[in-house]
Chain A
Amino acid sequence: MAISEEEVRHVANLAKLKFEDNEIHHFTEQMSDIIDMVEQLEKINTTGVAVTTHGYSLKNVMREDIAEPGTDREELFKNVKTAEDGMIEVPAILENEGEDA
């Protein structure tokens, strides 16, 4: 087993996901298989090889700092579930002080 149920719970916590207890065992097995597969890369010598993070080599792209019209505020709220006075409504964040905020 390349990854334990405890580690899966830890990663889920980082990813803001939650798995039910009855899912976690099967999920850990699948994750382990996938991690075993990607661990094949360990065997390849990459000493001194640069890291590629882009599909195509580009330099920083700059533009003139000229203001352009932005998106209409009302339009931006079109997909918001609940709003009040032009602000997005969310649950209270201070009820469990220090725990979630």
Chain B
Amino acid sequence: MDFTYSAEEDRFRQDARTWIRANLPAGWGLTVHESEDERERYMFRLEWEKQLYAGGWAGLAWPREYGGRGATLVEQAILAEELASAGAPEGLNIIGRNLTAPTLIHHGTEAQRLRFLPPILSCEEVWCQGFSEPNAGSDLASVRTTAVRDGDHFVVNGQKTWTSFAHYAQWCFMLVRTDPAAPKHKGISFLLVDMRTPGITVRPLRQISGESEFNETFFDNVRVPVENLVGGLNEGWKIAMTTLAHERGPEDALGRQIRFKRELGVMLDVASSQRRGNRAAVDDSALRQKLATSVIEIELMRLNCLRSFSKMIQGKQLGPESSFQKLYWSHVAQRMYETGMETLGPTAPLAAGDPAVPGAGMFQTSFLQSRAFTIYSGTSEIQRNIIAERVLGLPKSP
């Protein structure tokens, strides 16, 4: 067990930090913030990602033949830490980088990897994820969108929902039903679909935070070349599990942890400066205990990630255990943002834009966003089923 970094890794961190500082706009996070306008904000994120690519920081741990740098997982984690601590924008092609890429590295053909991985890194192609449907949420295996073979094409018909970034994406990976007669898990295939194909309609949905990151997406006789099938026909469920393990795994959680920790730091500052009668909010012992709980839980989120990460470095594949990471951090983060609202006390009902709101309304927005944590990439109820059945070996539910 060793929590120190090698001299090389320290040098890498210093290089990353220097580059990030030099390339973020001057005054970033202090006087310069992301745009309030959603489209502008997303385009800025895309530009930032392209800048990262040009600087050689994209796809660090990917194999060189697909445009990566062949760096270590530790270096990749260091970069994620440095980006998050600098408050750098998240990027728009998160799904392409974190989900499409590992899925293709595990299950794609060499031709698919060579075709799709480099433009993910360069961000010429942004990806979205077509899993959920109006009637296939937690019961994901009951997807109804169909793909019927017609010559050297599949013809896709149906509707996907909660499709994050679909309105900015050039490509979508999706689960489609290719054998309606088979048991539901055995009739699903994994397809890569060009979003510019005729027959696709994208309609943005507004979220409870007021943002419109996700969409409903309609497919009307969309023709997809057969070479865009990943893995075998009707083997899509197994592939989806790889995708989901990455969506729920420690790589994703490490970057989030630093963002949570930064907001928790602001929360501590606000607790110290907010007055409650004749004392500071932070002098209230009940609030102190809650803030301490979050300090501990958020730090343990990082350490939980590092424990899984160490297994990955030893070559262990991500499996159903990654549900544990997601189940842990999603609830921990929700608890933290509830404590954030409690820290604001009487001013909690104010919102961004009001001059009297502490933290520029960040806590209110984050609190609302946090409600999604226990829903997306598999609800907590689904994570618990996975842990109980596939990790603990309990019998399947009726």
Q: Do A and B come from one complex?
A: no
B contact residues vs A (CB 8 Å cutoff): none
